[in-house]
Structure 1
Amino acid sequence: MANDHSRRKFIKKLGGSTLFAIAAPTIIAEAANVKDKGVQILKRRSKVPANDRINIASIGLGIMGFGNLKAALSREGIELVSGADCYDGHLQRLKELYGTDIKTTRNYEEILEDPTIDGVIISTPDHWHARQAIAAMKKGKAVYCEKPMVKKIEEGDEIISTQKASKLAFQVGSQWASSIVIQKAKELYETGAIGQLNFVEVYTDRFDAKGAWQYSIPPDASAQTCDWKSFQGGVTNLPFDSTRFFRWRNYQDYGTGMAGDLFVHLFTRLHTITSSFGPERIYATGGLNYWKDGRDVADLMLGLFDYPKTDKHPAFNLSLRVNFVDGSGGGDSMRLVGNEGEMVLNGNSVTIRNKKLPLAPGYGGWDTFGTFPENTQNEFVKAYNEKYKEVKPQVLPVGELVFQAPTGYDMRVDHFDNWFNAIRTNGVANEGPEFAMRTTGPALAANLSYQEKNIIHWDPVKIRRKQSS
């Protein structure tokens, strides 16, 4: 009954919108084949008014650091004051892009001491996230912290408690939480577009050196141009190594591997759509099969996750895969499967395909019916017809319903808009520390499962590992 109610909500919602006029043929068409897709272009969110200026600084100026700045500075009322990084070339590049008046430093603590800065964007290696985020909040700065929020599960509690005490705007940089595509998927899921969820599969596959974290190393990289001691942050005490410095994701000392970098994004999408707190059983496997360049993290990782029933969703199972050696060329897709259809997310689009089981199951074909003696078959048919005599022919869904983000859409811009609005209004950002730990925690638990070759029992409410029973 609950499924029927959800499905009626979905159809009713479509029926009351302009979308229905476009997409109705894909919802109720009786034709066996539907060639034309009903595609709705999603609207970008309205601009957030720039009521007052926000001064920001960037801590970490690698790929994500510069990418985050580009998105943040595209918004009105945002001014870059300073930047910190351990490589002099990144500091030079910051001035080339944004002006010689931008303050630069190797020491991020100088930024935290500047009273003119309202918020900091932390885009450093994973082992720095927690300590820099906590230090920034203790100095009264709003924080935008790259994912994963923490490198170790036990670091999460202090970030959560520090943010609660400070009430500062805190956003983690898995921008899917603010994507208009994911928000549309959430709306569709909640209105019963696919019926009762039972299974989710997600993959992110790549097939190029840069996608496998073999980033370019500048020819001037040296112990003089790189603050190697500060970069290590006390977790290692090694001679200068430019490969570790610029390709830190490949090393467990500084990074969190595929799970911390990419599983977190996949969990963010899923948890935003379903309002889930996370799984209760986690198992991961994989290996280092191709990129044997000195790294100590996997280049293929598979994860299985059991989600318990909650008041927001039924129990379901999740399969995740990340493969850096995909000879088909790579790709990214997410599929939520229900008893009345599937929802597929590819890039900046979400597609609904519906198929519903008939009320009368039928007989014959690949079935035991043909093995019965003739008189038994006749008795079966008589009983079957009596049992299903009230079942009427149904008009079943055929085809697809597609929603597409506008050309050039950048979800990072919406994610920064959300953070800036939280700063201006003393509000709560979409991806605060508790939400982020519910995506980071299972990802890091997957790393533990891979390393220990064991199932991890997880408490999605308390956000911590359970002791095995």
Structure 2
Amino acid sequence: MSTQSRRTFIRQAGGAAILLGTGPLAAFTKPFSANDTIRIGCIGMGIMGFGDVACALQVPGVELAGVADLYDGHLAHAKELYGPHLFTTRDYRELLARKDIDAVIIATPDFWHDTISIAAMEAGKAVYCEKPMVQQIAEGHQVIEAQRRTKAIFQVGSQRVSSVAFAKAQEYYRKGSIGQLNIVEAHIDRHDALGAWQYSIPTDASPGTVDWDTYLKDTAKLPWDPKRFFRWRNYQAYGTGIPGDLFVHLISGLHVITGAKGPSRIFASGNLSYWKDGRDVPDVITAIFEYPETPEHPTFQLTLRVNFADGGGGGESTRLIGSEGALELTYNGVRLQKRGLPKAPGYGGWDSFNTFTKEQQAAYIQQYNKTYSAADQARPAPVTEMFTVPEGYDDRLDHFKNFFASVRTGKQVVEDATFGLRAAGPAILTNQSYFERKEIKWDADKMKVI
């Protein structure tokens, strides 16, 4: 999609917003007390939209005021769940024009995130935008500028940022529990059709029940294709593939733990191995990210891998490995393991010591024992600590609690637009590296390709 066509669309959307009374002049900051109800709307009622709304409504003092979606069935199901009087619309601008809505969740396909986020902030709404924050780097800078200009509450929905497990991992890291970080390795492997985004398509899907023309936005004008609407993650035009869906979670969590802003070099490789269903993104991809030394961390390497065709059944792991220990993020917490080295190097085993004459071996042992005390030769006892999250813990709920706390008090959000672009940027550039088959250099401070 061209930059020019995107700019044209944004100008048109902005003009329509002004007509609706939701342009920059309509922006406002509504004061909230601890007991005031926050009324929310959700734009994009797919899997994430319904999940986010259900989670957000668990926060005391939050009510659902309306939803927008381009498929009539999603709107009808929202009424089934939340009552026949719920305001529903195909046009997100009608939702933004409502004065009784204080905050919106944006859970649309990725290529709509920037346009709706900017329009929502200009309409005076607090915004919770699903990850990745944007589909393209330039869009991220536009969202950052809109947040700066409107001073709106804006939080990206990558919930690991609010996780108590990642907070504990951050504590371990800052205490120096693993020594000097040297490599981070993470993978998410799956072996099922739904995990590979072959989502169910409703039997009534048609141009009559879906606003297909609006959905396409500024992408190529194509005939109706239900797969491109309901399985949008499989297409470059609408999503960001594996990196934008999954890598961005791993990068966000890493940045929380280490205080990193991002890598300086990125290289990716992969292929479309198994799910050859018309998608134009890989189902197997590995990326290497080189993080330069900063005041927050030493130089280290990050490797990320996702395999949607893991015949072994799949699995997930994230490990931060240092010179004195390792942190492993598990499904229910974080594990610290330390296997320290003795001060003495040791001898024997796979060692040149065994090639010495008996006389030289005896001389070497005598010298070794004079150089190193018994304490120096003793290997430190291994240490294992496990932090487990409470039963039933939900980091997405904590993320929403943090968001609504910012809406009420005006305090800084836990994952603002700048953080969002620093997480999304390397994921987006992973795709660029994969498709262009080249290394990408990234300035994490300026958030620009070099």
**Residue number in structure 1 paired with 2:99:** 115
**Residue number in structure 2 paired with 1:397:** 381
Contact 2:341 2:379 in 1 (8 A): no
**Match of 1:83, SS?**
strand
Contact 1:350 1:404 in 2 (8 A): yes
Q: In the alignment, is residue 81 of structure 1 matched against residue 65 of structure 2?
A: yes
**Residue number in structure 1 paired with 2:85:** 101
Q: In the alignment, is residue 126 of structure 1 matched against residue 115 of structure 2?
A: no
1:306 maps to a residue whose letter is: E
Match of 1:385 among 342, 359, 369: 369
**Residue number in structure 2 paired with 1:371:** 355
Match of 2:240 among 250, 253, 256: 256
Match of 1:335 among 286, 298, 319: 319
CA distance in structure 1 between the partners assigned to 2:273 and 2:146 by the alignment: 41
**Match of 2:320, SS?**
strand
**Residue number in structure 2 paired with 1:16:** none
Kindly state the Cα deviation for residue 375 of structure 1 after the two structures are TM-superposed: 4.1
Task: List aligned pairs for 1:44-443, cutoff 5 A.
Answer: 50-389=34-373, 392=376, 394=378, 396-443=380-427
1:347 maps to a residue whose letter is: Y
**Match of 1:437, SS?**
helix
Task: Provide Cα deviations, 1:208-241, integer angstroms capped at 9, x if missing partner.
Answer: 1000000000000000000001111121201111
**Residue number in structure 1 paired with 2:4:** none
CA distance in structure 2 between the partners assigned to 1:73 and 1:177 by the alignment: 20
Contact 1:174 1:268 in 2 (8 A): yes
Contact 2:344 2:376 in 1 (8 A): no
Contact 1:303 1:319 in 2 (8 A): yes
CA distance in structure 1 between the partners assigned to 2:79 and 2:401 by the alignment: 24
Count of residues in correspondence between the two structures: 418
CA distance in structure 1 between the partners assigned to 2:383 and 2:363 by the alignment: 38
**Match of 2:289, SS?**
strand
- TM-score of the pair, normalised by structure 1: 0.87
- Greater Cα offset, 50-59 or 257-266: 50-59
1:259 maps to a residue whose letter is: P
Contact 2:343 2:377 in 1 (8 A): no
CA distance in structure 2 between the partners assigned to 1:130 and 1:373 by the alignment: 73
CA distance in structure 2 between the partners assigned to 1:394 and 1:102 by the alignment: 69
CA distance in structure 1 between the partners assigned to 2:261 and 2:378 by the alignment: 37
Task: Provide Cα deviations, 1:386-410, integer angstroms capped at 9, x if missing partner.
Answer: 3324854657233521111122111
- Greater Cα offset, 371-380 or 157-166: 371-380
Task: Provide Cα deviations, 1:319-364, integer angstroms capped at 9, x if missing partner.
Answer: 1001101111111110111111111111121111110011001111
**Match of 1:403, SS?**
strand
**Residue number in structure 2 paired with 1:43:** none
**Residue number in structure 2 paired with 1:36:** none
1:295 maps to a residue whose letter is: R
Task: Provide Cα deviations, 1:172-198, integer angstroms capped at 9, x if missing partner.
Answer: 111000011111111111112212111
Kindly state the Cα deviation for residue 379 of structure 1 after the two structures are TM-superposed: 4.2
State percent identity of aligned pairs: 52
Contact 1:50 1:76 in 2 (8 A): no
Contact 2:104 2:120 in 1 (8 A): yes
CA distance in structure 2 between the partners assigned to 1:347 and 1:364 by the alignment: 40
CA distance in structure 2 between the partners assigned to 1:389 and 1:214 by the alignment: 63
1:260 maps to a residue whose letter is: G
Contact 2:96 2:120 in 1 (8 A): yes
**Match of 1:143, SS?**
strand
Task: Provide Cα deviations, 1:291-323, integer angstroms capped at 9, x if missing partner.
Answer: 000000000010111111111111111110011
1:130 maps to a residue whose letter is: D
2:75 maps to a residue whose letter is: L
CA distance in structure 1 between the partners assigned to 2:301 and 2:76 by the alignment: 48
Closer/same/farther in 2, CA of residues 150 and 314 from structure 1, 3 Å limit: same
Contact 1:235 1:253 in 2 (8 A): yes
Contact 1:168 1:423 in 2 (8 A): no
2:198 maps to a residue whose letter is: Q
CA distance in structure 1 between the partners assigned to 2:74 and 2:283 by the alignment: 28
CA distance in structure 1 between the partners assigned to 2:449 and 2:76 by the alignment: 43
Task: Provide Cα deviations, 1:246-286, integer angstroms capped at 9, x if missing partner.
Answer: 00100101010000110000101111111111111111000
**Residue number in structure 2 paired with 1:9:** none
Contact 2:268 2:430 in 1 (8 A): yes
**Match of 1:397, SS?**
coil
Structure 2: 5+ residue runs without aligned partners? 1-32
CA distance in structure 1 between the partners assigned to 2:349 and 2:167 by the alignment: 43
Task: Provide Cα deviations, 1:136-189, integer angstroms capped at 9, x if missing partner.
Answer: 111111110011101011111111111112221111111000011111111111
CA distance in structure 2 between the partners assigned to 1:84 and 1:418 by the alignment: 24
Contact 1:152 1:444 in 2 (8 A): yes
Kindly state the Cα deviation for residue 427 of structure 1 after the two structures are TM-superposed: 1.4
CA distance in structure 2 between the partners assigned to 1:167 and 1:379 by the alignment: 74
Moved over 6 A (4+): none
**Residue number in structure 2 paired with 1:446:** 430
Closer/same/farther in 2, CA of residues 349 and 253 from structure 1, 3 Å limit: same
CA distance in structure 2 between the partners assigned to 1:234 and 1:457 by the alignment: 28
